[in-house]
Structure formats: structure tokens, C-alpha cells
Amino acid sequence: MREPKERPVVGIFCDEQEERWGNRGWRTRYSVHSTYVAAVRAARALPVLLPPLLEEIESYLRLADGLLLVGGRDIPPRYYGGGRADDSKLVSEARIEFELELARRAVERDLPLLGICLGCQVLNVALGGTLHEDLSLSGKRFQAHDGAGLSYPLTHPIRLELDSELAKRLGKEQIEVNSFHHQAALDPAAPLKVAARAEDGVIEAIEHPQRAFVLGVQWHPEESPEDEVTHALFGGLVEAARKRMI
């Protein structure tokens, strides 16, 4: 007889990369930044990495009490009706097919889910939403959002929708967030609701009001482990996952 779990299991989506190992040929590497793992552990959950294997989705859904969709490169535009894109900036077909399908099924089953940056975009596209392909190509309408190549942290304020679950969870009307993205949700999927925007109107958070905890944020809370907002977000995911265990 199996012992009951002491901690909820949070499945963390992995990136995949092809690497050449000398004379042993090409190998696939599955990886994720340690900051995501650390954030899940700090919230008192057990992190388990989920390689992008479509045939294992049902097993993953039975294993995990919650899911964390992490950051990464761009979603191929054909998945949301976009135009042409630089192939070198796109996530692999295997990863995006896996993430979209797992996100869809997780939402259907009310499995707690937190999407970060690309993960927020995956959540939106999985449920039928669209994306800004590149905010920097939209003229002067948008402020700088992509701080990935800067020598200093790029931050900006965002305003929370007062009737959102996110605002209730954080107890704030405005917060300061880091910014490492050049894409963002454009048209939210029908079941999702905008929970926060930047001052220029860019969507910074989306949520599913009919689910226990389905939230996507455009910034990277895992990069600020001491921040109370980070604690609230990962704590909310793990709290919802723990309730699912009972």
C-alpha cells in the first residue's frame, strides 16, 4: 500500500535542446532553470520535471497536483494565426505541441496551473487566444518590455484589475515587476479574464475565473525569491494543489 504524499507534486514543464556529444552523435537534453525548482520547493511542494512527451500526458495528469508552465522562446505563429517568424527564436514543435495539449487538458480537469512568461502565452493560445508577435515592432505605442539583453534589471509598474482574483490574492492595486519579454497576450481566450496590465495597456496577467487556480503572469516572479508577490503566487499554486490532494 502506497504511503500518502506529504507534499503536493508540482510538475514543471521542461525545455528540450538537441546537442552533439562528440562521436556519440546527437542527444536531446531536457532542462529547466533552477530558480523555478527553488520557488516550488520554497512553497513546500515537490518539484517534478516533465519532459515534453505527448504519450505521457495522461500519466503526468495523474501524477501532478499542480503544474508550472515556465518561460522560453516564442510559440510558432501558426498556432495563433500570426505571420512569419525567425525559426531560431521558436520553441521546438515537440515542446509546444506537448505544452498546449497538457495545458488544455489541465484546465478541463481544474488542475491548478501557473504560467510564467511563455507559460502565460501558452495558456492563452491553448484556450484559443492570440498574441502580439513582437511588441518592439508596434511603433511607439508600447514601452520597453524586453530587458533580457540589458546589464541592469528592467522593471515597470503594472495595475491589477480590482475585481480579479489576482488583486484579491495580492491585496494590492499596483505592483512593480521585472520584464523579459517581447511577446504578450493580444486577445485573451474566451474563458480567460485580464487580471493586470502595464501602463501602456500590455496584458501582464490572465486568469480563469471558473477554476480553482489557473493564472498566467507575463513577468518572472521566480527571479525575485524574496518578494512577497512571488510567495503569494507560488503559495497560491501550492495551496490549490494541496487541496486537490485531499
| Active site amino acids | 117, 220, 222
Nearest Cα to 205, choosing from 196, 213, 72, 214? 196
Q: Distance (Å, rounded) from C-alpha 200 to C-alpha 69?
A: 25
The residue type of 96 is: I
Length of the chain, in residues: 246
> What's the maximum distance between 2 C-alpha atoms anywhere in the chain?
62
Distance CA 60, CA 19 (A): 26
Residue type, position 159, single letter: R
C-alpha–C-alpha distance, residues 192 and 190, integer Å: 6
Rounded CA separation 190/175 (Å): 26
Helix, coil or strand: residue 113: strand
> What's the CA gap between 227 and 225, in Å, rounded?
6
CA distances from 112 to 24, 64, 67, 160 (A): 40, 9, 6, 21
- Helices (DSSP H) in the chain: which residue ranges? 34-42, 57-63, 93-108, 118-126, 165-170, 228-245
